[in-house]
Amino acid sequence: MKFTKYHGLGNDYIVIHPKELQKELTSRDIIQICHRNYGVGSDGILLGPLPSSTCDFRLRIFNPDGGEAEKSGNGLRIFCRYLFDLGLVKNAPFSVETLGGNVQGQVHGSGEMITVEMGRVSFDSAKIPVRGEQREVLNETMVVDGVELTYCAATVGNPHCVILRDEIAPEDAKRFGPFIETDSRFPNRTNVQFMKVLDRANIQLEIWERGAGYTLASGSSSSAAASVAHKLGLCDNKITVHMPGGTLQITIHDDFMITLTGAVTPVCEGIIYQDVFTQELQRI
């Protein structure tokens, strides 16, 4: 099975063309491929391009725990670069269907920078979803591992929980992230961002990604966190998001439609041998 690997600010994905599949990818297959010791190693798998009745292309996104994700900002940017490298798109905008909604992508120049229209952010508990009475989930509190945390929740087609902190570190994401991801108030589990507002145009994030764990960068997390900062009046509508893997540029429009721009880097091409799928299942 041939694959191509890219990363967006250290958030790496394996792209597999559907023609390479002899059968449907199972959760077991996905876990093995993504394993960093027993497989190729990645933060997820992008399967496409697939046919779509509503867009130019369709994309399926899989997390390294074997589950399917609704949307991924970095995954979408990587997929856009992959389409560009295959010669299927040029510099004109095009559309991509995902489980989390249809998005528009555009490749700039020779492919180094990609812009994705991520769709509209909502803070509505029914859409995210978050359990309880219907409301905008803003500045609520939860106690995690004995610590009271203030959080907001949002959806960009996938769920996010943004924790506001005066100071953040990778240890915050690793300590609290697993508990928040699986907290009962989030029926579909959730991505988690620990956010420090630097000024009205810059925020800093540490990220725990649903189904993947600690992550160097995330496009949908950047979109959700920047939208929360803007919604709370802490930032203006153009925000640079600083993450361990690098920076992304977010523009928040009047209706909370999000534009995301950032770099994508090709890593390698290769072949996955069938022996990978016959070994004992190894979980990340």
Is there a binding annotation on residue 237?
no
Contact call for residues 126 and 100 (beta carbons, < 8 A): no
Is there a binding annotation on residue 188?
no
Number of H helices, E strands in the chain: 5, 18
Residue 207 C-beta-side C-alpha neighbours within 13 Å: 30
**Tokens representing 32?**
């093995």
Cα separation of 224 and 190, whole Å? 12
Residue with tokens 């943004």: 162
Helix, strand, coil % over all residues of the chain, rounded to 5: 20, 40, 40
Cα separation of 211 and 283, whole Å? 12
SS3 31: helix
Contact call for residues 240 and 249 (beta carbons, < 8 A): yes
Is there a binding annotation on residue 220?
yes
What is the helix (H) or strand (E) element at residue 175, kind and residue range?
helix 170-181
Determine the angle formed by the axes of helices 73-85 and 219-231, rounding to 10 degrees: 130
User: Which residues lie below 8 Å from residue 176, measured CB to CB, with a gap of 6+?
Assistant: 144, 145, 147, 149, 163, 192, 194, 208
Is there a binding annotation on residue 11?
yes
- Of 282, 283, 240, 279, which Cα lies nearest the Cα of 262? 240
Cα separation of 231 and 237, whole Å? 9
Is there a binding annotation on residue 209?
yes
Is there a binding annotation on residue 210?
yes
Is there a binding annotation on residue 97?
no
- Known binding-site residues equal 11, 63, 73-74, 158, 191, 209-210, 219-220
Per the annotation, binding residues for substrate are 11, 63, 73-74, 158, 191, 209-210, 219-220
